[in-house]
Each structure stands twice: as C-alpha cells, then as structure tokens.
A = this chain, B = another copy of it.
Amino acid sequence: MSQRSVFFLSDRTGITAETLGHSLLTQFDGIEWKKHHISFLNSTNKAQTVVESINTAAVQEGQRPLVFSTLLDPAILSVVRQADCHFFDFFETYLGALEAILQQPSARVPGRSHGLRQEVSYFRRIAAIQYALNSDDGVNAKALADADVILVGVSRSGKTPVCVYLALQYGVMAANYPFTPEDMCAARLPPPLQSLRNKLFGLTLSAERLHAIREERYPGSRYASLPECQRELEWQNQLYQQFNIPFIDTSGISIEEISASILDHTDLERRLYGAS
C-alpha cells in the first residue's frame, strides 16, 4: 500500500477541512494516508514552518502531498501556496460564486463556523449535555418528562452514545430508558413510559451483535449468552410493534447515522453545533 501525506490547514479548529477532506479521501482505496492536522495556523512564521514540512514530505515520498485548506487570511494563504503540493482551497472554490449569487462580499473572517456565536445556544447545548449525563440511567420520571426524545432498548443496545451525540451536536435533550428484567415480564409498556409514548424511539440490533457486545464486558455470563439476547430482543421488538414505536436497527451503522435517522424520523429541530 502506498503512503502519501495529506495536510489539513485551518485558521481555527480545522473541523471543516477535516470533514470534507476525509469524506473525499474515503472514496479512494489502497492509499495509506499520513495525516497532518495544522489548526490555529495564524501567523506567517507558522505558515513558513508548514511549507517546510510539506516540501520535506514531497521529497521523502517522491510525490507532491495533498493540502486541504480552509484558510482565509490572504497573507498566510500566499505563504502556504508556495509549497510543493496539490492545493485544495475549500473556501475560495465557493466564496466567489456565492458572492456573485448573493450580490454581496463575504466577510472572510476566520472562526465563524465553529466559534462561539450565541450565548443562548451555548447554554442550551451545555444543558443538553448535562441532561444526557444525568438521565443516563433513565430512572428519574421528572427528567423523562423533560426529554425531547427518549431512546429505549435492551441493555447495551447503544442508547448512551447516541444520547450524548444528540446533545452535543444538536442540543437535543435525549433521555435513555433501558428495559429492565422486570419490564420484560409483561407485554405492556413499562409504567414510567406510559404517558410518554409519543417521545419514544427504539433501538434494536441483531442478537449476534448484542451477544458480542455483552461478551466484551461480561464474558461467559448468562446475561451475555445468545439465547438471553434473543429472548430480550424478541420481547422488545414485539413491544415496538404493539405500541407502534418507531425504531432503527443499529447493527453495522455508526452513531452519526443512527442520530441522523432519529432526527429524520422525528420533528426535532436540527441545530448542528459542530457546523453552525
């Protein structure tokens, strides 16, 4: 497998350059990327050092590195553009076209996309994260009533990471309710959820995957055994059907995909903090 350097350059966090850059690179197989993340590139001195790193990589690898940039400062840009590289300017490509369409100049001020712009949304986001942490066990009925959405599912079905992601990325108050052995003795909605049906969203997964995840933590236990996983999932999936609870099979999909699906299935507002 060939190795090749790629540089992500940004005035600030580098999140935008990384997100698009990685998305593009995943479309090319068979190349081992040596990734260099240069955030807070805010002086021509630092830029000169980066140029030297790029040129060194070009010599060592015998080919020009890729450079993905969201730099906005013209002085810094003019330094790094002198490097021996293939330069992709993710902002310049579009800002000119957008200026023409919108008939106004762009501000070209760094740090607007991942900076702290609104105090209110900051407090809301922090509150959502704290909420996800505090209501992780799902036992607090008062907390459940405050939720925007309540994720339900058997133990280790992946509710917690999704709640945390929904809070952090979207400011959604996401609670989580794990079905207990007691719940599974009856074919009814667990009592704390009965008045909150319209907030429920179910997670499910294959018995094999649940078994593998539980085995990681409690190897050889009855709890982790395949028959027990099958039994719990059967009860759970029947509940989803009986009470018409929307659900998603999470086997083989990522936290990002599960979260995007939940937003897609509900009418929750998307406030993408990572990108606004």
Contacts and interface: CB of A to CB of B under 8 A. Distances in A.
Interface of A: 12-16, 18-24, 26-31, 35, 37, 39-40, 66, 70, 86, 88, 90-91, 93-95, 97-98, 101-102, 104, 106-109, 111-117, 122-123, 125-126, 129-130, 133, 136, 158, 160-161, 164-165, 168, 216, 252-257, 259-261, 263-264, 270, 272-276
Contacts of A129: 160-161, 164
A-B residue pairs, 6 tightest by C-beta: A23-B113, A26-B112, A27-B106, A13-B260, A19-B275, A114-B256
A256 B13 contact: yes
Given A86-B97, A93-B93, A116-B254, 9 more contacts: A13-B260, A19-B275, A27-B91, A40-B264, A88-B97, A116-B253, A126-B158, A161-B168, A165-B168
Nearest to A165: B168
Nearest to A272: B18
Given A22-B275, A27-B95, A114 B160 contact: no
Nearest to A132: B164
A97 B107 CA distance: 28
A145 to B, nearest CB: 20
B22 A272 contact: yes
- A168, A253, A274 interface centre (most CB from chain B within 10 Å): A274
A205 to B, nearest CB: 12
A113 B256 CA distance: 10
B107 A133 contact: no
Given A14-B260, A129-B160, A161-B126, A98 B22 contact: no
A10 to B, nearest CB: 9
Contacts of A160: 129-130, 133
12 contacts: A12-B257, A13-B260, A15-B19, A15-B260, A22-B276, A27-B106, A35-B270, A115-B254, A129-B160, A133-B136, A255-B273, A256-B274
A14 to B, nearest CB: 6
B12 A16 contact: no
A150 to B, nearest CB: 18
A129 B111 CA distance: 27
A27 B168 contact: no
Contacts of A257: 12-13, 111, 114-116
B123 A20 contact: no
Contacts of A18: 272, 275-276
Nearest to A136: B133
